[in-house]
Amino acid sequence: MLAELRRVGYEIKDLRKDEFRADRGVPVSEMEEKGWSLWYASLPDIRHGKCKSCGSVISVAGVRFHGHKCEICGEVTYYDLVDGSTMKFVFLNNRERNFLSPKLKMRVKRWDVEQEDIYFYYEFLEGGLSVVTGNQATAYLNENKRLWQVIEEDGQKLLKVRYSLYWDRDTAAIEAYDSYGHYWNHSIVKIWDGKEYGELDHLPIPESMNIFETWHWSPLQATPYLHERILSAAGQVSDKGYYYQDGRSFFMASEWKEMAKFVRHFTVLNGDRFDDAWPKFRSSGPGGIDDLAHFCHGNPVVENRPNIGNILVAASKLIEGKPLTESEITEAVRGVESEEGVDLIRGFLGKKR
């Protein structure tokens, strides 16, 4: 099989000889019995850039770096910030910060990468959680007045701040949280067997695959934890606390179909019954996990660890005036009561253990 994969064009890494495994003293026999991947096959060098100005296929290296130019025609392939882009940022003022610390959201006029300065239109935009506007934004600027200056340009008032192309925390004046409004003059394409595909298109064969020796551990029996192995095989998390708690969809048909393959070939469960059952499963993370777990075993053990992410989501929705579901409230409270939640709240209050 490995020889056939190499003939098709795959590069294969022998994970049995991997340094990570060797450094930890894990024997190959343990990898086999625990169902670890023993080889990793991938198609090399299939991703490329494509310049929208000249249509040339170019190197993907650096194609999404601010100011990068096409090696064929010399046109810029990407600007991270242009006139009209928006940026959410904080000042680096050597004060302890957390996710509720004040942030500014402003519209970019231009970015002078040679002089390492960025110019913002002097206006404060709304931007959700912890973004300040009006008098709060003015006060935040005054707290950090050594890090910026106001200039007049063509009758416009601009805020000038140091911002390097090669960002360095030790010398930077601000740290960007996110930005929008990039300039794209390229696309990413995949080329295999002489044919071009879009960046998100599927090739006729997998771009990569993990290879196992399943006879060491299959078929898996119907245990209270079988759902965890099925979810893991499809690259999914089995902890309900990891997911959004508002009922939004997460599991799509593609994930259930991957799980169905695993169920049919590597467990004692009835594959036909599973194919009939999964379209009726809930699509939310917590709901889907519960439905899968109860299909696998009459008395499953389902992991649901407190997650500080549920605190942050609930806090953000409350600030924005959005209602919370009962599950969101329950999981946010559980998150606050966890050790990580306590540390998070203490961080908000500026207190240490």
Instruction: Report the pLDDT averaged over residues 305-311.
Output: 87
- pTM: predicted TM-score of the whole model, two decimal places: 0.75
The residue that leads in pLDDT, 95 or 279, is 279
Q: Is the pLDDT of residue 276 over 60?
A: yes
Q: In the structure, what pLDDT confidence band is assigned to residue 24 with cuts at 50, 70 and 90?
A: confident
Burial track 287-318 (b if 16+ CB lie within 10 A, e otherwise): bbbbbbbebbbeebebebebbbbbbbbbbebe
Q: In the structure, what pLDDT confidence band is assigned to residue 349 with cuts at 50, 70 and 90?
A: low
In DSSP notation, 120-181 reads EES-----STTB--HHHHHHHHHHTGGGEEEEEETTEEEEEEE--SS--TTT-SEEEEEEE-
Given a contact cutoff of 8 angstroms between Cβ atoms, the answer to whether 185 and 49 are in contact is: no
Nearest to 113 by CA among 165, 52, 72, 42: 165
Residues 259-273: tens digit of each pLDDT: 999 999 999 999 999
Residues 156-187: tens digit of each pLDDT: 999 999 999 999 988 899 999 999 999 999 99
d(CA 82, CA 103): 21
What confidence score (pLDDT) does residue 351 get?
A: 54
- What percent of the chain lies above the pLDDT cut of 70? 96
d(CA 150, CA 314): 37
CA distances from 190 to 185, 208, 285 (A): 17, 13, 31
d(CA 99, CA 96): 11
Helical axes 308-319 vs 326-337, angle rounded to 10°: 130
Given a contact cutoff of 8 angstroms between Cβ atoms, the answer to whether 236 and 256 are in contact is: no
Given a contact cutoff of 8 angstroms between Cβ atoms, the answer to whether 62 and 51 are in contact is: no
What confidence score (pLDDT) does residue 14 get?
A: 94
The tokens for 52 are 């929208």
Element (H, E) at 198: strand 195-198
Q: What is the mean pLDDT of the chain?
A: 92
Given a contact cutoff of 8 angstroms between Cβ atoms, the answer to whether 88 and 132 are in contact is: no
Q: Is the pLDDT of residue 151 over 80?
A: yes
What confidence score (pLDDT) does residue 347 get?
A: 62
Tell me 11's DSSP state.
E
d(CA 114, CA 105): 23
Q: Is the pLDDT of residue 339 over 90?
A: no
